[in-house]
Amino acid sequence: MASLSFTTSYQIEGAVDEDGRGPSIWDAFCTKPGKIASGHNGDVACDSYHRAEEDIALLKRYGAMAYRFSISWSRVIPFGGRNDPVNEQGLQYYIKLVDNLLAAGITPLIALFHWDLPDELDKRYGGLLNKQEFVADYVNYARVIFNALSPKVKYWITFNEPWCSSVLGYNTGMLAPGRTSDRSKSPEGDGATEPWIVGHNLLVAHGTVVKIFREEYQPLYGGEIGITLNGDWAEPWDPESAADVEACDRRMEFAISWFADPIYFGHYPKTMIAQLGNRLPQWTDKEVALVKDSNDFFGMNHYCSTFVKTEIGKPERTDTVGNVDILLQNKAGEWIGPETQSTWLRPSAIGFRKLLNWLSDRYGQPKIYVTENGTSVKGENDLPLEQALKDDFRVQYFEDYIGAMAEAYTYDKVNVRAYMAWSMMDNFEWAEGYETRFGVTFIDYQNNQKRYPKASATAMSNIFAKYIKNP
């Protein structure tokens, strides 16, 4: 299953106060001074709520076979809770979107949750920090969506990048709800404990909803369900250092295996247990039974690689990366890859192939869906339109990364089955606002969100075709 790209609700839809939608934690976070570049927000974004048919036409023009998108929980259940009313207008928006995608010959893949928790649930009981209440409300929300769409939709993601929700939302404070131990950034939060609580609660919610899907919906309508994780490939800063080599696995375990090991093995990684001790929540037998083996596929988001250098001494209590330094240059001064607009992102396609092999080896050759992959381009937002549309750097990135994935499939026998590029269009890039662009479609924010296909949009179908015909 090859796809051109995917999007998420808060990043593209806009219409945040229309047709009964309630506020999410991202609406609230964007009102806080200094949290988003240039004071941007998702109020209008790409205006896709009003232009969904136009966007589907673009997908068809680009040759997309599938389209992954997320649903705004607060558009469907404005206050979010299991005893709160469903907003029928919001639900109908997604029903129509799915119908129109299918009519265009495009397979929909739905993420139930991509960071935008209804704000009322955060205010009501602490949101993701409250396992009992959050799981119950998430289950109710998932049932509403399954009841409406499971006869038509065959691919489901429970949570997108729980690492980001946990660490960036409850440790660094970079993302909503912005909780952190750093009192210069937030009056609330404990970065030493809260991310591990949130991560555990997300896993329990995932397992609970997967059980319901498998017992109540899958027998009737078929389909697959899984979780999407994120992570970079790690290379040793000093390849001659056994400590740095070992630190690479530890770094990826803190990023990926934190969530994957409980799903595939029923427990957290030993490296995390050793460092965090009782700050990692304990698994009950009931929770293990819910979470273990709860993936029909392994969803993986990946963008780049880094160098890793082991830290000497005891880690800080707020450390979330496994007591390592994450670097872009190695001991010899070599960069991991070329510069992009994103300070954290330097491409390394060989790292992608290595990561796919690492996942396959560790988790018993699962079926892998690459659910995000893409790049920003240095200075793209400052270029004249004509130059911005010639995004040759992004074209090369996709050629290299899709090629690396094909090599992992063909030569390494990695069971990778799907690829989705980030993103269909430039959009609200969370804390970076609209200053960073990842899309294959240029969005003119100053001219009524007008869409302009970039070179990468037309190149993608040719890249896919080459490997689909010659896998």
Under the banding of pLDDT at 50, 70 and 90, the label for residue 465 is confident
> For residue 55, is it within any domain?
yes
Q: Say if CB 122 and CB 177 are below 8 A apart.
A: yes
pLDDT at res. 35: 98
> For residue 318, is it within any domain?
no
Under the banding of pLDDT at 50, 70 and 90, the label for residue 471 is very low
Check which CATH number belongs to the domain holding 420 and give it.
Answer: 3.20.20.80
**How far is it, in rounded angstroms, from Cα 125 to Cα 346?**
39
Under the banding of pLDDT at 50, 70 and 90, the label for residue 7 is confident
The catalytic residue positions are 161, 372
Which residues in 199-215 are b (16+ Cβ under 10 Å) and which e? bbbbbbbbbbbbebbee
Per-residue pLDDT tens over the stretch 253-300: 999 999 999 999 999 999 999 999 999 999 999 999 999 999 999 999
| DSSP bridge partners of 329 | 335
Determine how many CB atoms are found less than 10 A away from the CB of residue 354. Answer: 18
> For residue 317, is it within any domain?
no
> For residue 353, is it within any domain?
yes
> For residue 257, is it within any domain?
yes
> For residue 31, is it within any domain?
yes
State the helix-helix crossing angle for 88-103 and 131-149, rounded to 10 degrees. Answer: 50
Q: Which residue has the tokens 């190149």?
A: 459
Question: Which amino acid is located at 100 in the chain?
Answer: N
Q: Which residue has the tokens 């909780």?
A: 179
> For residue 447, is it within any domain?
yes
Nearest CA among 166, 221, 224, 174 for reference residue 195:
166
**What is the total count of domains within the chain?**
1
Per-residue pLDDT tens over the stretch 116-150: 999 999 999 999 999 999 999 999 999 999 999 99
Percent of the chain with pLDDT over 70: 98
What lies within 8 Å, CB to CB, of 191 at 6+ separation is 170, 171, 172, 173, 179, 180, 181, 182, 318, 320
Determine the structural domain holding residue 161 and report its residue range: 2-233+252-302+344-469
> For residue 315, is it within any domain?
no
Per-residue pLDDT tens over the stretch 90-101: 999 999 999 999
